[in-house]
Amino acid sequence: MKEVIIGGVGKYAPSKIITNDQLSEIIETSDEWIYSRTGIKQRHVSIGEDTSYMASEAAKMALENANIRSIDIDLIVVATCTPDMYTPSTACIVQSIIGANNSVAFDISAACSGFIYGLDVAKSLMKSNGYNNALVIGAENLSKSVDWEDRSTCVLFGDGAGAVVLSKSDNVGLISSFCKSEGEKYKCITIEGNDVDSPFVENKVIKSSKLKMNGNEVFKFATSTIVNSINKVLNENNLNLDDIDYIIPHQANVRIIDYAAKKLKVSVDKFYMNIEEYGNTSAASIPIALSEMWKKKLIKKGNKIILVGFGAGLTYGATLINWAI
Ligand code: ACO
């Protein structure tokens, strides 16, 4: 068995929902502004669940779905930009919670592209190291990292997690993928962290632990990369959009997705969207969407799906999938 398929999917979203109208009670904003600029109506917000908890709940659902025991997992990759702690990795905490005692576990930091990066890394390791089963999880607790006084960012994000079980198979599941970074634009989205300070530092470097974003720059980057990434995956596999059943983009902004559909001359219905309910859940958005589509029986065996992500780093990437279950 040389190939890798997605054998199960799962998701978790906190039960607490905050609508745009509720947000307008704590900051100067409106449902009209948020919805017309982004397509967001509400977001799920943690009432104390941290990233590892949400990741573990999504992972348990994916394991159940795949009918695989946690002790049969060889690799856990958690994509997150809002880990529980700097160290240990959130993946190690997930390993402990779900009892996946036979696995190697680590995190990937590629923000909203993290799940795409995670799939690529996990597939490569499964092929090179002989791992049979892996969990790839995108999980975020962004509500602890946004600045609730900055209306230009706090209205955009939500919390949640999505997970897939990857398994070795004779069938092709993850057909092809690519990941890219444009590090020279790293200042566009930051969550800085600790000050640089010690008895040996002459000029203390003050850092912010809150998310900061140059929305306009990211918007320009996102509109071009989403189109280029989809075209790259299609060209590399000699396919065109008629061969693709669904595109699942990172859920950042409806306007970015509308732009991509127009540019690609394809119906926007080909793009799955749930940003209205969840907001931008960064690395979790694509696996949450996958899990939701699976539950709604929208995806069927043999479907060809493109997953496409973009985000802080700046990072981007896409994966072409043959749905094999
Ligand atoms: N409510 C009301 N008014 C607001 C709000 C708000 N929540 N936020 C900003 N405004 C105001 C601004 O102050 C500004 O007012 P001014 O003209 O008087 O100065 C006005 O609205 C317009 O602000 P813009 O920033 O120009 O609004 P824009 O139309 O560009 O939309 C947005 C902003 C939604 C952030 C958009 O730029 C965007 O979607 N960017 C992409 C974000 C993205 O894709 N991120 C993905 C990666 S995230 C990650 O990796 C973790």
3-state secondary structure of 271: strand
Per-residue confidence (pLDDT) for residue 282, from 0 to 100: 98
Across 240-275, b (16+ Cβ under 10 Å) vs e yields ebeebebbbbbbbbbebbebbbeebebeeebbbbbb
- Structural tokens at position 112: 């909203």
Considering the domain delimited by 3-171, tell me its CATH architecture: 3-Layer(aba) Sandwich (3.40)
pLDDT of residue 271: 97
| Ligand 1 binding pocket mutation candidate from 23, 216, 224 (most atoms within 8 A of CB) | 216
40 lines ligand 1 (CB under 6 A): no
Which one of 140, 218, 273 would you pick to mutate in the ligand 1 pocket, going by the greatest count of ligand atoms within 8 A of its CB?
A: 218
Q: Residue 11: what pLDDT?
A: 98
- Please give the pLDDT value at position 149: 96
Q: Which of 44, 179, 250, 253 is catalytic?
A: 250
Q: How many CB atoms sit inside 10 A of residue 194's CB?
A: 9
Confidence check: pLDDT of 131 > 80: yes
Residue with CA closest to ligand 1 atom 15 = 152
Q: Is 92 a catalytic residue?
A: no
- Comparing C-alpha atoms, which of 142, 141, 161 is closest to residue 153? 142
Instruction: Indicate if ligand 1 lies below 6 Å from the C-beta of 319.
Output: no
- Is 38's C-beta closer than 6 angstroms to any atom of ligand 1? yes
Question: For the chain, what's the residue count?
Answer: 325
Q: Give the start-end residues of each E strand in the chain.
A: 3-12, 17-19, 42-44, 75-79, 104-108, 133-140, 160-169, 174-181, 189-190, 212-213, 246-249, 304-311, 315-322
pLDDT, average across residues 262-272: 96
Is-catalytic flag, 44?
A: no
Domain boundaries, the chain: 3-171, 176-322
* Whether residue 229 has its Cβ less than 6 Å from ligand 1: no
Packing angle of the helix pair 254-264, 31-38 (nearest 10 deg): 30
Ligand 1 pocket check for 231: Cβ under 6 Å: no
Ligand 1 center–CA 186 separation, angstroms: 18
Q: Which of 20, 65, 81, 112 is catalytic?
A: 112
Is the pTM higher than 0.95? The answer reads: yes
> Do 53 and 80 contact (CB within 8 A), yes or no?
no
Q: What is the mean pLDDT of residues 19-45?
A: 97
Comparing C-alpha atoms, which of 189, 208, 168 is closest to residue 310?
189
Write down the mean pLDDT value for the chain. 97
pLDDT of residue 105: 98
Task: Tell me if 212 CB under 6 Å of ligand 1.
Answer: no
pLDDT at 74 > cutoff 80: yes
Q: What is the pLDDT of residue 77?
A: 98
Contact 127, 174 (CB under 8 A): no
Tens of pLDDT, residues 169-228: 999 999 999 999 999 999 999 999 999 999 999 999 999 999 999 999 999 999 999 999
pLDDT in tens, 81-124: 999 999 999 999 999 999 999 999 999 999 999 999 999 999 99
Q: Is the CB of 155 under 6 A from ligand 1?
A: yes
| pLDDT for the residue 92 | 98
pLDDT on residue 273: 97
Task: For ligand 1, pick from 152, 214, 226 the residue to mutate: most ligand atoms within 8 Å of CB.
Answer: 152
Look at residue 202 in the predicted model and tell me its pLDDT: 95
Domain 176-322 part of CATH 3.40.47.10: yes
Active site residue 112: yes
Whether residue 189 has its Cβ less than 6 Å from ligand 1: yes
> Cα dist. 318→76, 83, 158, 233 in Å?
20, 23, 22, 7
pLDDT at site 317: 97
Residue 68: CB partners within 8 Å, gap ≥ 6?
Answer: 7, 8, 133, 165, 167
3-171 and 176-322 agree in CATH topology: yes
pLDDT tens column, 220-264 = 999 999 999 999 999 999 999 999 999 999 999 999 999 999 999
Q: Are 137 and 94 in contact (CB under 8 A)?
A: yes
